[in-house]
A and B are shown apart, each in its own frame.
Chain A
Amino acid sequence: MPYKTLKDLSLKEYFGPGHRLCQGCGAGIIARLVTKVAGDNTIIVNATGCVEVATTFYPDTAWGLPYIHVAFENSAAVASGVRAAYNSMVRKGIVDKNPNVIVLAGDGGTADIGLQSLSGALERGDHILYICYDNEAYMNTGIQRSSATPYGAWTTTSPPGKLSPGQKTGKKDLVGIAVAHGVKYAATATVAYLLDAANKIEKALNTPGATFMHFLSPCTPGWRIDTANSIKVSRLAVQTALWPLYEVVDGQYITTVKVPKRLPVTEYLKLQGRFRHLINKPEEVAKIQAYADKLAEKFGYGPIST
């Protein structure tokens, strides 16, 4: 059943308050939403990262669901193992229901370190949902660049200067990588469009085989934004076409949130301290705008209006 209003979402909280995530953290919203949609019969597999460090401080845990923490590089492999174990237990009659198995991993644990185990799980087609919450750098260890960091962004290992614009390479297309494995369902989402995200999570959980979701998650200290602006920034990412929202069903790209009049990328960049050095460099901003134009053309977004 698709979610039509916010009130359709479950009242029950599986992700408890009082965790150590920063004020205004996008990952907290994602964790709450995912557990609300998935419900009681769920096992969370969490790779090392902000969420793991902030929510599971011995002897407490913020998770009201079965939870397993694994290393960066093997989260998808562990999820495959959990699924295999449950398949076997259902066959033997030890448990009667096969649970949802959801992997929650950051962009470092997905695009860099965990890519091989993710590739394996997608290729085998184990029935798991892999969710990458992408805050565009290694935020937990102190804002080092990852392969998901966008062009021009400041991080501690991609400092801007006379000879450098900041991060020199663009973002890795993770959904494209997942689609290349022939997955039945892959999608992008962000915290500003939660109804869209909730429907995508439900669709992904109900699709047999491996499914992949790429969530843009604003990071207030890492992106140098005001804590109150985290939703606003992620909404601007969609409206400037830097983060188009789409789903891929059987290799078919479908745009889910249409933007008839998009905004120039400067609207998105000027709110964030990590792009502050680009203000006086119009040629670098033009490169980012060109990237947004390319995405806008691909996903059918409208022309720029100011």
Chain B
Amino acid sequence: MKKVAIISFPSKGTAGETGTWRVKKPVIERQKCVKCMICWLFCPEGTILRKEDDFVEIDYRYCKGCGVCANECPTKAITMVEE
């Protein structure tokens, strides 16, 4: 097949680092986490990273701070704190 010039840059950061939109930031308490993966799937942004051992980590470069993860966490392991 003929090669075509790359004209777009896929995936991360279409709008730059959207972490600057954030007013409150989600913080995970490791002891309370039961690895249910609800926050990982409900994050509209996809900034909650699922690690190999099923622990989650938040990518603060892109997290917009909507608070969905803190609201949906069944064990309240995520709290929203002021930046």
Contact = CB atoms under 8 A, between A and B. Distances in A.
Given A57-B14, A62-B11, A63-B10, A23 B46 contact: no
A295 interface: no
A18 B17 contact: yes
Contacts of B62: 17-18
Interface in B4-24: 7-18, 21
B57 to A, nearest CB: 13
A231 B14 contact: no
- Size bin of chain B's contact surface: 35 or more
Contacts of A229: 71
Contact of B41 (A9, A23, A55): A9
Contact of B44 (A5, A13, A28, A64): A28
A29 B38 CA distance: 12
B15 A20 contact: yes
Contacts of A63: 10-11
Contact of A59 (B9, B70, B71): B9
Given A17-B59, A23-B64, A24-B67, A61 B42 contact: no
A230 B72 CA distance: 10
Nearest to A16: B11
Contact of A17 (B9, B18, B41, B80): B18
Interface in A153-205: 191, 194
A271 interface: no
Given A16-B11, A20-B18, A23-B21, 15 more contacts: A17-B62, A18-B13, A18-B14, A18-B45, A18-B62, A19-B15, A23-B44, A23-B66, A24-B44, A32-B46, A58-B8, A61-B10, A61-B11, A227-B66, A230-B66
Interface of B: 7-18, 21, 36-38, 40-47, 50, 54, 59, 61-62, 64-68, 70-72, 80
Interface of A: 5-7, 9, 11, 13, 15-21, 23-29, 32-33, 54-64, 191, 194, 220, 226-232
15 contacts: A6-B40, A16-B46, A17-B18, A17-B62, A18-B13, A18-B62, A19-B15, A20-B14, A23-B44, A24-B66, A29-B41, A60-B14, A64-B10, A230-B68, A231-B68
